[in-house]
Structure 1
Amino acid sequence: MSTLIVYCHPYEKSFNHAILSMVKTNLNKQKQHFQIIDLYAEHFNPVYDKEELRLYHEGKTHDPLVTKYLTMLQNSSSIIFITPLWWNSIPGMLKGFIDKVMKEGAGLSHTVSSLGIHGELTNIKHTYVLTTSTSPKFYLQFFCGNAIKRVFINHTLKQLGMKRRHWRHWLHFGGITFAKLSKRQKYLNYIANYRFK
């Protein structure tokens, strides 16, 4: 099994893209096999239409990328999300990825019972979330309800069965707009040497 990178940014000269490059360098250095889902480059449509919503309850889809992405998830042992935070949350593109790709049904991403949601993606043993934002991290944590950790990491990804979502696996670069080049480079060096297991 390999590591799956879910990358969510439309601009190739963004700092997020530099982070992606460093993650790839890191994994290559560790001789880890990986695959990349580049949501914007692959023109993933995050919007539900009527037919997609109808098929959802059958665990089906009419979007071939949804089938492809779910198969990649099922064949991965680790996952790394790389995304900006826009308006204090994940972008609509990444939210749409979660909405459309995570299909209900045995052997898919999760099952639902009267006791709640049971995650089926237990094959993913290590989960990492790499984010950037204009706001500093303390603002997200203490003034915005810490939604990335409390909702996305501790609940959404947990409900899907993804393991090892420890708070240390959320790596955030805040204050990106006014960050000096030296600070950006220091962070990239940190990512280049981070131990993704």
Structure 2
Amino acid sequence: MRFLVLHAHPDPDSYSAALHAAVVGALAAAGHAVDDCDLHAEHFDPVLSRDERRAYHDLAQNRLPVADYVRRLEAAEGLVLVYPVWNFGFPAILKGFLDRVFLPGVSFRIENGLVRPNLRRITRLAAVTTYGAPRWRACLMGDPPRKCITRVLRALAASQARTRYLAHYDMNRSTPATREAFLRDVRHCMEHF
């Protein structure tokens, strides 16, 4: 399979970077083709411009500013997002990627006023993430990142897409042992994904 891996953390020495490396390494070791997209390393601009917003529903124009990223997304059969949860949401660069690349005619179509999924090539969808807070606090806040992955993005993919949400909660009180155990879980999941 061909996987697009989106990584959204500015520090190449972070735990998120270690998770990213584990994901890419495990997928490659399992024989998958990996398109590794480190949004910070690629200097992705997350800001949706006024012109882009105005052309949002123009299927002939909307993808032009992000054409290479659209091509990479459309070529993918699997999608893995690796990011930290900050303020109970996605990092701005990842949110901006979703706003600018998951466009009408790309990730969805609008037919008779209804949204229809358009990423039917995606048969594997996963998120690998960390939260500073414990899970109960994320649940109390509604856990928007989990819902976005397991409901919104999942609905855009193939109808039987395998979906995984791997989260290390309570990073503020994590230990080397808990972080290493989560890395092992991530590697195992990606090797068998």
What letter is aligned with 2:179?
R
Aligned twin of 1:74: 74
Q: 1:162 to 1:37 in 2, by over 3 A?
A: farther
**In structure 2, C-alpha distance between the alignment counterparts of 1:80 and 1:196, rounded to whole Å:** 14
Q: Does 1:104 align with 2:99?
A: no
Say whether the 8 Å CA contact 2:5–2:24 is kept in structure 1: no
**In structure 1, C-alpha distance between the alignment counterparts of 2:150 and 2:130, rounded to whole Å:** 19
My pick for the range that moved more, 5-14 or 54-63, is: 54-63
What letter is aligned with 1:82?
V
**In structure 1, C-alpha distance between the alignment counterparts of 2:176 and 2:14, rounded to whole Å:** 13
Question: What does residue range 45-194 of structure 1 map to in structure 2 within 5 Å?
Answer: 45-59=45-59, 60-63=62-65, 66-105=66-105, 108-114=106-112, 116-141=114-139, 143-150=140-147, 152-161=148-157, 164=161, 166=163, 169-194=164-189
Unaligned runs of at least 5 residues, structure 2:
none
Instruction: Please report the RMSD computed on the Cα atoms of aligned residues, expressed in angstroms.
Output: 1.8
Aligned to 1:84, what secondary structure does the other structure show? strand
Aligned to 2:55, what secondary structure does the other structure show? helix
- Deviation string 1:118-150 (CA, Å, 9 cap, x unpaired) is 111110001001110110123212x11132233
Say whether the 8 Å CA contact 1:127–1:162 is kept in structure 2: no
What letter is aligned with 2:153?
L
Question: What does residue range 25-40 of structure 1 map to in structure 2 within 5 Å?
Answer: 25-40=25-40
**What is the TM-score normalised by the length of structure 1?**
0.88
Matched length? 189
Aligned to 1:45, what secondary structure does the other structure show? coil
Q: 1:91 to 1:196 in 2, by over 3 A?
A: farther
**In structure 1, C-alpha distance between the alignment counterparts of 2:115 and 2:125, rounded to whole Å:** 19
Seq. identity, %: 25
